[in-house]
Chains A and B, each alone.
Chain A
């Protein structure tokens, strides 16, 4: 099996089961997935890296039917509230992308799927959520 890289650096593939990590502000506890100059809430600059839960609840979703060229449709995009804290946007996968199968308040768990290869054969791995 070839080399794998996460599609974004807040997805961890090489430390136990795949999971997300966030930068948590030591001042106020706000969570961020991106590289930060400071905390938008309390202006602090001290962050610690914390693992997030892999299960959560769908707080919102849409079924995308018109997308950029090359993006397969339809697909479900959702905002998931992770147990214990953290909001994240991702696709809902492993279930039909329609409002009968994807719903508000639905319980989901993190899963991964291949997102593509580069010319050196490295595979990018993305994360999504499947019905729990």
Chain B
């Protein structure tokens, strides 16, 4: 670019590239008076308006939702925003659902089947409490081994825990076992940062700052994660409009200037590891997705101006510093201690407040983090803007597992 920073986005001439043209999200929170489709429609219409286009321009729809998967959420959404007969991909992929919807649209454009597409992630959870915690079944008539482990009763709580807070606590503690300098306090500092960041984000579900003592002294869910170190359940929608480079070139200067380039879009599932047989290994697939994304985009972790990563629990965020290469190997504890992921640190992480404070309506999350990074790269993030942000990365994990990483770059970078 030249000194004025106003050079036309020459990359937009590359026909095989995919760009974010429009992006929007609802505030995350609780919407007792709105249904799932209301949330999706609000986000979709706002993203279309943001991109300066309408449903008439859209060639493909990716609809990401978990709790009503199987009900044709994309078609139900179309009935409220425009039925144009385009293909709809309804996807469910745990907490990577929204990012998977983005990838459906991304791949359709890459394949040349579509010039422009809409991806929507939306979820209505309400107040659900501890996910997956089933009430005990009554006394069995006669024990009968069932399932692939030949179990005669529920093993939850009897052979350890497989519920989310405990799984991610154990993932974090395994990192602590293998690397020094990590303990309860370092994990808590992640939550302290994200709660503080959320006070600047009007779209966050919670916007309250807590001291380290308050976080560590809050009711314990699964050590070392206290309740203030766990993401809440909630409702919300997020949407992005993606466009091919060729089609973008036909749009207005303003649309081109605000467009954000997708430097890499990568998805992985967990490869075999020994630990993955005991509980999902959230590390290896993240490392593989990140290294591929860096390779494809030519971006180095040190180039990143901001990262939105999957902090479903504070323990998760800390280990992903290492998995995404944001810190030296084994030094995630030192990274948080030295303020590395703070807003004014070398690599700001979860300046939105993250899942811990911004909220985590499952299907919306992987779209909302693309919205967040896009907004910073456009310089439109208001009070929480990271000054001069040009390159960012988003990361989500759906346990079981699916991982999506996107590298986003400012148009005239």
Contact = CB atoms under 8 A, between A and B. Distances in A.
Interface stretch (B63-71, B201-209, B270-278, B286-294): B270-278
Contact of B133 (A69, A72, A77, A79): A69
Interface string A50-74: 0000000011111111111111101
Contact of A62 (B140, B142, B169): B169
Interface residues of B, number: 50
Contacts of B152: 5-8, 118, 124
B31 interface: no
B183 to A, nearest CB: 9
Interface string A12-36: 0000000000000000001111110
A53 to B, nearest CB: 15
Contacts of A89: 159-160, 162, 170, 278-279
Contacts, number: 171
Contacts of A126: 155, 158-159
A60 B135 CA distance: 27
A32 B239 CA distance: 41
A119 interface: yes
Contacts of B251: none
A122 B136 contact: no
Given A9-B149, A104-B173, A65 B220 contact: yes
B134 A68 contact: yes
B163 A67 contact: yes
Contacts of B132: 68
A71 B156 contact: yes
A96 interface: no
Interface in A91-106: 91, 99, 104-105
A41 B143 contact: no
B176 interface: yes
Given A8-B150, A8-B151, A126-B158, A63 B220 contact: yes
B140 A68 contact: no
A69 B151 CA distance: 20
A34 B170 contact: no
B222 interface: yes
A6 B144 CA distance: 11
A52 to B, nearest CB: 13
B277 A32 contact: yes
A61 B174 CA distance: 8
A117 to B, nearest CB: 7
B151 A7 contact: yes
Given A63-B220, A89-B159, A118-B140, A69 B275 contact: no
Contacts of A31: 274, 277
A69 B156 CA distance: 11
Contact of B174 (A67, A79, A99): A79
B220 A118 contact: no
B147 to A, nearest CB: 8
A64 B157 contact: yes
A120 B157 contact: no
Interface residues on A, range: 35 or more
B142 A77 contact: no
B138 to A, nearest CB: 10
B279 A79 contact: yes
Contacts of A41: 272
Contacts of A105: 177
Contacts of A128: 159
B165 to A, nearest CB: 7
Given A7-B153, A10-B149, A115-B153, A62 B158 contact: no
Interface in B160-203: 160-163, 165-166, 169-171, 173-174, 176-177, 184
Contacts of A99: 184, 223-224
Given A66-B165, A67-B161, A40 B272 contact: yes
Contacts of A61: 170, 173
Contacts of B163: 64, 67-68
A78 B174 CA distance: 10
Interface of B: 130, 132-136, 139-143, 145, 148-153, 155-163, 165-166, 169-171, 173-174, 176-177, 184, 219-225, 272, 274-275, 277-279
Given A40-B272, A59-B174, A116-B153, 10 more contacts: A5-B152, A60-B173, A62-B166, A65-B221, A68-B136, A68-B156, A79-B279, A87-B274, A99-B224, A122-B142
Interface of A: 5-10, 30-35, 40-41, 58-72, 74-75, 77-79, 87-91, 99, 104-105, 115-120, 122, 124, 126-128
5 contacts: A8-B152, A60-B176, A65-B221, A88-B278, A89-B159
